[in-house]
Structure 1
Amino acid sequence: MKEEEVNRCQIQEWYPRFKSTSMKTIIHELPESFIEYLLDDSGPFLLPLSISNNDALPNRIHKPEDEQDYIISEHQPSDDESDQTPPPSFPELESQINLSIKTLGGAIFPKLNWSSPKDSAWISSDSSLKCTSFTEITLLLKSSDSLVHDLCHAYDSCSDCNIHRPARFFLALRRWYPDLHPEREFRIFIHNHILVGISQREVTTYYPILTEEKHGLEKVIQDFYTDKVSMGFESESYTFDVYVRKDMKVKLLDFNPWCESTLPLLFTWAELESDQLISEPEFRIVESQCGVRPGLKTAVPYDYLDTSEGSGWDQFLRNADEELRRQTRSAGGG
């Protein structure tokens, strides 16, 4: 994988060309001081001082009886406390971002150059990435371990690059849509400019409706690639994610590089690079309860499992696939 292939998948690079087919997004360049704040784990967890006095923590309380956990007693600071570094503040950035949130309808979900803080959604009262203020965004970003990839390891898999992070970071504010359904998200795999596979994005659940709509979904996704994506994205091999609305209109969600750090979902990378799929692309969905992948029930979201070849989960998934094929053969024979 080349550095330029990774760079093309940054949202600030692809969104301007594809915004007519994607969800509405406003992108802000982040000051280096804010990046340093996100990476700093040398002291206590501190949210920035807000110019609007908007504190995210009370908004995250699940039960009224839990409020006592957040009571702060007033007292005179000791000499040691008075020497502590005050919380950071980013008034200009906060003002710009809060204005953008208002422009986008009052609620957004955040994303850096490549990644969103999905692993910190637990801190939200509804376990989502919905944010209505700069403080809530900062809480998610500061709590996320997955964003360390963007901040420190974005180019680790590149064969022609000695850097680990981009020169500039961006925060994308994407309009929040409360009625999106996870079963209508799909990942498309493009190898040497050829569509070789389509996979259900949420592989931890069986959705019967996908079996009923599979043919129609496959057609609109293939047409979307041909008409909207194929001539506009320069990489030879990559993946992209889409959302298919109930009226079968397709919305572009994201681009990902063709590498092992991108989940192949219901495929394996060996399959995706084989001649079989190049000659005959496949659309894979979870066909039954037996085909679901490990997810939140493992205490680790599927996106963050180590499924690389030789890992324990790799062997588990191979066994699960073989069992599913065995059951399918048995059902067909019966």
Structure 2
Amino acid sequence: MKEEEVNRCQIQEWYPKFKSLSIKTLIHELPQSFVDYLLDDSGPFLLPISVTNEDALPNRIHNPHEDDDYQVAEDSSDESDQPSPAPSFPDLELAVKASIEALGGGVFPKLNWSAPKDASWISTTGTLRCTSFSEIALLLRSSDSLVHDLCHAYDSCADKTSSRPASFVLALRKWYGSLRPEMEFRCFVRKRNLIAISQREVTTFYPALLERKTAIKASIEDFFAENVRERFESENYSFDVYVGGDERVRVVDFNPWCAFTLPLMFTWEELEQSFEEEEEEVEVEMRIVESRREVRPGLKTAVPYDYLDTSAGSGWDQFLRNADQELRRQSSTMSSSEAGA
């Protein structure tokens, strides 16, 4: 993989080409001072001072006694002990505020490649939905996954010349509360051929998907052939789509082939072997979670799921078997109760 392939997957690179086929997004170039703020771990965790008086944690009680640990004794002469002033980014905050209003009042943020999904627990809603610059800063500063964008973007590149891009952007994407997680899919493209489709949300079994699998697969294949294949310049990559109730497909993101991209229901070894160079037509394989036994650990798992043993007799396999047995027991109990009633 080359740096140019990774660069094509930056949202500021691909979004202008697919704007009419994607989620409405407004993009802001980040000042270096804000990038430095995201990377700074030398002192206490300070949220930026808001020039619009918007707090990421509106329900917290500000207690001056809690700041005692950061106060310096009056007779201290060591300037290194002085607490750092809270940062402020007024120009960026005002620009972000205007974009949030333009996008309907709610957005989810991401940098060049990644969104702070691992930090959603810290928000007041437990999601990536943000209504203020302060909430965005809280998510970005709390995310470990964004370290990839900030420090390791090109680590998998054969022609690596740098660890990070020359500039960073903050992409604000319109928040749609009605989107269904089971309708997002990751598509894998090899030698400009769509070879595989995976359900994106692999931690849950959605029975309704079983009935729609064939129709969804056909919609994604048509969408790729008509809108993506000739417009995205890389030969090998993956892209995420959302399929609506009317089978209408929208681009969500583009990702480099292999590297830091999760293969979800596949393995990279399978995907590499599934395409023979001499083949002109490739049968697209689509995988979804077809039973509760097939659910996978999510992105918040301490160990990547590719490293977990899910073979017959393993601990994870036994856990899933027990879960299925419990589900059958509960279903049987409910059926008996309904019959008795």
Report the TM-score when normalising by structure 2: 0.84
Deviation of the 1:162 alpha carbon:
2.4
Could you list the per-position Cα deviations for residues 85-118 of structure 1 after superposition, in whole angstroms to 9, with x for gaps in the alignment? 2111110110001001000001100000000000
Q: Which residue of the partner structure matches residue 281 of structure 1?
A: 284
Of 282, 293, 296, which aligns to 1:290?
A: 293
Separation of aligned partners in 1, 2:57 and 2:283: 51
Q: Figure out how many residues of one structure are paired with residues of the other and give that number.
A: 307
Q: 1:37 to 1:247 in 2, by over 3 A?
A: same
Q: 1:139 to 1:193 in 2, by over 3 A?
A: same
Q: Which residue of the partner structure matches residue 233 of structure 1?
A: 232
Residues 217 and 248, structure 1, Cα contact 8 Å, conserved in 2 = yes
Q: Which residue of the partner structure matches residue 33 of structure 1?
A: 33
Separation of aligned partners in 2, 1:320 and 1:267: 21
Q: Which residue of the partner structure matches residue 331 of structure 1?
A: none
Q: 1:55 to 1:72 in 2, by over 3 A?
A: farther
SS at 2:57's partner residue? helix
Q: Which residue of the partner structure matches residue 63 of structure 1?
A: none
Q: Which residue of the partner structure matches residue 242 of structure 1?
A: 241
Separation of aligned partners in 2, 1:75 and 1:195: 56
Q: Which residue of the partner structure matches residue 106 of structure 2?
A: 107
Q: Which residue of the partner structure matches residue 330 of structure 1?
A: none
Q: Which residue of the partner structure matches residue 306 of structure 1?
A: 304
Could you list the per-position Cα deviations for residues 272-303 of structure 1 after superposition, in whole angstroms to 9, with x for gaps in the alignment? 112468732201111111111123xxxx625x
Of 61, 72, 77, which aligns to 2:64?
A: 72
Residues 238 and 257, structure 2, Cα contact 8 Å, conserved in 1 = yes
Listed as ranges, the gaps of 5+ residues in structure 2 are 322-341
Separation of aligned partners in 1, 2:304 and 2:35: 27
Separation of aligned partners in 2, 1:30 and 1:87: 18
Residues 190 and 196, structure 1, Cα contact 8 Å, conserved in 2 = yes
Q: How does 1:142-181 map to 2 (within 5 A)?
A: 142-181=141-180
Deviation of the 1:247 alpha carbon:
1.4
Separation of aligned partners in 1, 2:221 and 2:64: 56
Q: 1:286 to 1:160 in 2, by over 3 A?
A: same
Separation of aligned partners in 1, 2:150 and 2:312: 35
Deviation of the 1:75 alpha carbon:
9.1
Identity of aligned pairs, percent?
57
Q: 1:268 to 1:73 in 2, by over 3 A?
A: same
Q: 1:110 to 1:236 in 2, by over 3 A?
A: same
Separation of aligned partners in 1, 2:209 and 2:240: 17
Q: Which residue of the partner structure matches residue 45 of structure 1?
A: 45
Q: Which residue of the partner structure matches residue 136 of structure 1?
A: 135
Q: Which residue of the partner structure matches residue 6 of structure 1?
A: 6
Residues 195 and 274, structure 2, Cα contact 8 Å, conserved in 1 = no
- Of 48-57 and 142-151, deviating more is 48-57
Q: Compute the RMSD of aligned alpha carbons.
A: 2.5
Larger Rg: 2
Which contiguous aligned blocks of 4+ residues in structure 1 show a shift greater than 4 angstroms? Answer: 73-78, 318-324
Separation of aligned partners in 2, 1:74 and 1:153: 36
Residue type matched to 1:72 in 2? P
